[in-house]
A and B are shown apart, each in its own frame.
Chain A
Amino acid sequence: MFLHAGIILIIIAVTFAIGTYFKLNTELAMLLAAIAAAIYHTGGIPVRHLVEGSFTYYDVSLIFITATLFINLVKESGGIVFMVRKIIIRFHKHRFLTLLFLTFILMIPGALTGAGAATVLTVGTLVGTVLVYMGISKTKTAAIIFLCASMSAAAPPINLWAMMAAAGANMPYVGFMQPLFVLTITGSLFTMFFLGAKGENPDLDKILKELPEPPAEMNWIRVGTPFLVLILLIVAGRLFPFTMPILGLPFIFIISAITMYIMSPKKLNILDIAGRTIRSLIPLVGIMIVVGILIQVMALSGARGLISLAVVTLPIGFLFATLFLILPVSEGLLQYAVAPLLGVPLIFLFNMQGFNAIIILSAMAVMWPIGDILPPTAVVGRATVIELNYKGRYYRDFLKTCLVPMAFILGLCTIFLIFSNQLSFLVGG
């Protein structure tokens, strides 16, 4: 069985490499790899397994889609530009407070959708414009946008890596809010102030001229109410669990989106926005569907077991010393697929060794999105340079500028890994 599972892994790796060589995107190359492995294992095409596997992350995908629709409606209504302009007008003389609030603005889309790309696409350009006018170089600005987007993707309430790994380990996605919040806020604030602390106070007029104008009727009530509805519906489920009907997160995001639609000062073409949302999410939803298929085929053929066995038999010290490298690199290679593939056996191993599984998974789930700047996928990194129209060199300038904050975040996460039990007081939410 060891040989059989090993051959399956080789087939997957080779097919994926061939697909990538022939310029197939990650999800199609991964799908081909899964089908090739399935054919080798079963001698045919196990259609039921392929379809069943594609539903593995169905709920997560729905959350992802509805949350992104909500954020896009906020953006299209002028809510985001309104918030950014208000922050600049109110705090432009206080560099510290301006950077602080801009960090929070950067955190919202990714935290709600679980995708760094959502942050880059919805608020990246706006915040990037402000940062450049605050005297921060374009390279540092791009680095700030990428790293804050990564941290926002890892921030609670929606962390897709933690959700996917927890689901695979039969572990509740409960108690992660506080550790994820501490790690991501620390990481994003360090990034913002390390790269952006030095600079001139912004010229208010210049910035405001550069930023788009929100509709005149936009105000805090209009932009705040949908967020309030979102929070109230989530909290109500916990406060009145026996009387409150079960809505589910996708429907809660839909209700919040409808609220934004109603509160928007300008008429929104909801079908057009929904269509654009779906089109923009095709690669990310696609990869979640394909990852489910791949995981099912690997479970069927024993390849998942072999990887799990290889991981759980590694010495803990080795993992502490290398996870800060392994996790981001594997994310660059496989994106979300790493969460169930590596995350589940790692949780199992650390849990067996008496470490706090929630702190461990939280730390890993913050390390993974850092790898979204790395090849071959580099989804968020590429989105950042495209969206900001960054003309510098990707590796020698952009990636190099990210290195110190990346090292800080990865170091912090490694500390969380090693001292997970001592930090277990953070579990909650």
Chain B
Amino acid sequence: MSKQRLNIIKIITMILIVASLIISGKAFLAHRNYKEAVVAGPSVTEVKTLGDYFAPLKGSVADCNIYILDSGKPGGTIFLIGGSHPEEPATNLTAEIFAENAVLKQGKLIIAIRANRSASTVTRPGDAYPQFYNIKTDWGTKKFRMGDRWSNPLDSWPDPEVYVHYPSKQMLAYMDIRNINRTWPGKKDGSITEQICYGFMNVIKEENVDLFIDLHEAELEYPVISTIVAHESGQNIAAMASMMLTDMEFAEPIGIEFSPKSLHGLSHREIGDHSDAVSLLFETPEPFLDRVRGVTDERLLLEGKDPFVMRAGKFGLLYESIDEDGWPIDVRVGRHCSTTLMVSQIWNQTNPGKGVIIENIPKYADVIDNGVGHYFKNPDEAVAEKVFYE
């Protein structure tokens, strides 16, 4: 090939690469900076941020909103977090339903919708996630950021050769130093994800949280699915909730698992060990996360229907059943809503004087009947003081 021809090819290649970087760079930037409007519900008395509990995070990408719903009547405090893993949309959608709708009759409810904001600003290379997903509401379509399991490398890089968990010294996967559910109870001067957990531990301690709930979703190939994972201090509540929900509300059962004592960094283990709060973690099935999934798109994310995952189920390779109806987002959010309500109800029964009475939250059947979007408020119609951005 002549030198001139080679130079032409090099120039064309360079132009194509620069054009690709500009186009994709704009898409990445739009995703990172996209703000989700949240209309604070009737019981929201204050909206703080994580930085109010741990100053170094103030104004940083990790500085998520902390919604405080105070009934004004003495009782207990429940802390509900969604978006620990922003690739699990049922978690932040559920938390947002609580923030926009819950009416507190007793006690206090604290909510973080986007617990790991950094992880919600990136999608996973190699997995072809959509950057956004859209939920139909009564007033239009509401757009949400899709995210990853791990904090954005732009905010936490490089990873160590091996991640050594603080304070247990247990060795974990290097990338899990960016996984909020491996960095509890956090470290004051640690990585940004460790600092996020440290900030949340401050929330738990300063607000005297009695019951902590961490919402998650899981692939059907993963054994910890459709379950409540409980620290030993919350096993009775979890067992009772599992029985009641399976018997009275859910089409598919929800189980209970005990938090392994030897596995560190997880919220259900460390919060129970390092604070007075009872710690629970809920899991719903999300076929979108399965490795054997087919086309990766918003439809699979929200409808949860996939013939490849179904075929894997026929070979006995899954830990949860799946049929043509799949696991739609309404079912997954409905399960999280009902599980949270049931757990709070049992908490109230077993902890007199520390009750947290939550009303105006849809149950499983309601969410399936009306759809998730039915419960989101129109920010354009709300007073500006009530609108907050995630």
Contact = CB atoms under 8 A, between A and B. Distances in A.
Contacts of A248: 157-161
Interface residues of B, number: 47
A172 B160 contact: no
Interface string A205-217: 0000000000000
Q: Which among A50, A55, A352 has the highest number of chain B CB atoms within 10 Å?
A: A352
B35 interface: no
A6 B307 CA distance: 14
Contact of A296 (B125, B171, B174, B306): B125
A251 B158 contact: yes
Contacts, number: 151
Interface string B118-150: 000001011110010000000000000000010
Interface in B1-35: 20-21, 23-24, 27-28
The secondary structure that dominates the B interface is: loop
Contact of B311 (A49, A52, A247, A309): A309
A51 B24 contact: yes
Contacts of A135: none
Interface stretch (A79-87, A299-307, A380-388): A299-307
Given A50-B20, A305-B292, A308-B291, A340 B126 contact: yes
Tell me whether chain A's interface is mostly helix, strand or loop, or mixed: helix
A324 B127 CA distance: 28
A292 B164 contact: no
A113 B265 CA distance: 31
Interface in A246-267: 246-252
A234 B161 contact: yes
Interface stretch (B71-79, B274-282, B293-301, B369-377): B293-301
A401 B389 CA distance: 67
Contacts of B175: 167, 172
B137 to A, nearest CB: 26
Interface in B347-387: none
B187 interface: yes
B295 A241 contact: no
Contact of B308 (A168, A250, A305): A305
Given A53-B125, A172-B173, A300 B296 contact: yes
A55 B171 CA distance: 26
Given A51-B21, A297-B128, A308 B292 contact: yes
Contact of A299 (B127, B187, B306): B127
Contacts of B158: 59, 246-251
A296 B126 contact: yes
Contact of B173 (A171, A246, A297, A349): A171
Contact of A312 (B125, B297, B312): B312
A237 B173 contact: no
A48 interface: yes
Nearest to A348: B291
Given A237-B160, A300-B295, A309-B311, A173 B173 contact: yes
B292 A345 contact: yes
Contacts of A155: none
Interface in A164-185: 167-174
B162 interface: yes
A142 B127 CA distance: 40
B221 interface: yes
A345 B311 CA distance: 14
A349 B221 CA distance: 10
Given A309-B311, A348-B291, A292 B126 contact: yes
B161 A1 contact: no
Count class of interface residues, chain A: 35 or more
A58 interface: yes
Contacts of A238: 161-162, 164, 171
A274 B312 CA distance: 48
B315 A313 contact: yes
Interface in A391-406: none
B388 interface: no
B94 to A, nearest CB: 23
B162 A302 contact: no
A344 B291 contact: yes
A299 B126 contact: yes
B191 interface: yes
Contacts of B174: 172-174
Interface string A102-134: 000000000000000000000000000000000
Contacts of A306: 294, 308
B307 A2 contact: yes
Contacts of B311: 309, 313
B145 to A, nearest CB: 14
A173 B175 CA distance: 9
Contacts of B315: 312-313
Contacts of A302: 293-296, 308
B61 interface: no
Contacts of A249: 158, 161
A77 B21 CA distance: 38
A295 interface: yes
B312 A47 contact: no
A41 to B, nearest CB: 8
A340 B291 CA distance: 11
A348 B308 contact: no
Contacts of A173: 173-174
A198 interface: no
For B21, B128, B294, the residue with the greatest tally of chain A CB atoms inside 10 Å of its CB is B128
Contacts of B160: 237, 241, 246-248
A281 interface: no
Interface string A29-66: 00000000000010000011111111110110000000
B166 interface: yes
B296 to A, nearest CB: 5
A242 interface: yes
A312 B311 CA distance: 11
Nearest to B165: A241
A5 interface: yes
6 contacts: A1-B308, A48-B23, A58-B125, A308-B292, A312-B317, A345-B292
Interface of A: 1-2, 4-5, 41, 47-56, 58-59, 167-174, 234, 237-238, 241-242, 246-252, 292, 295-297, 299-302, 305-306, 308-309, 312-313, 340, 344-345, 348-349, 352
Instruction: For the complex of A and B, list the 6 residue pairs with the smallest distance between their C-beta atoms, beginning with the closest.
Output: A172-B173, A248-B158, A241-B164, A300-B128, A56-B126, A51-B24
Given A305-B308, A348-B221, 4 more contacts: A174-B162, A296-B127, A309-B312, A312-B315
